[in-house]
Amino acid sequence: MAILFLSASSVSSHAQTMTFDCDAAENRSASVAIETASPFEVHGSLMLKESRRGDYAPVAGVTIDMDRDNGVFFRVRAPQPDAKFLELEIVSNRSGTRKTMGLGQLPAESAFDFTMTLTEAGNLTVTIDEAHFSATLQAFETARVRAFCSTGEFVFSGLSLAVTE
């Protein structure tokens, strides 16, 4: 597993964007992460470039983790390497209890936009293409936001995180 960890002692309200070519061999993962405080917004675009065969399905997404037992993430998963559609899911983890909710499918050959917004009150809104998800998260001081992939190459473009007011 390859992890590139970016940290900042303070995140400016002016977001810089980056491209993350997340390229992971079969049954391996890669990620880039940053620590942040709430409230914040993370957004970007995600596209499957190449899926690979392995014990695990090709998958990519973005996580918000408050601690080991609490967080939420979205992921797109190719049910098989040559799939025409990616399955879109939201996964929440509250006090160690994990729940997965399917949000539909996205064309495997197209890029899609995503935005995850977290308010100071803990209200989370996730928008992925035309799909929307809302939840209330527990209060936290800092969180780790991580873009990840496994068993394939996915490109995150225009990836940014901004602390909001």
CATH entry 3.40.1350.10 includes domain 28-163: no
Q: Where does the pLDDT of residue 115 fall: very low under 50, low under 70, confident under 90, or very high at 90 and above?
A: very high
DSSP 109-122: TS-EEEEEEE-TT-
Cα distance between the two ends of the chain: 35
Residue 50 has pLDDT above 70, yes or no: yes
Q: For residues 63-89, give the mean pLDDT.
A: 92
Q: For residues 62-86, give the mean pLDDT.
A: 92
Distance CA 64, CA 46 (A): 17
User: 37 with 150: CB under 8 angstroms?
Assistant: no
Structure tokens at 74: 């979205």
Return the residue matching tokens 């190719």: 78
Q: For residues 38-54, give the mean pLDDT.
A: 94
Residue 121 has pLDDT above 60, yes or no: yes
Give the pLDDT confidence score for residue 164 in this predicted structure: 84
Give the pLDDT confidence score for residue 15 in this predicted structure: 61
SS3 (DSSP) at 86: strand
- pTM for this one? 0.87
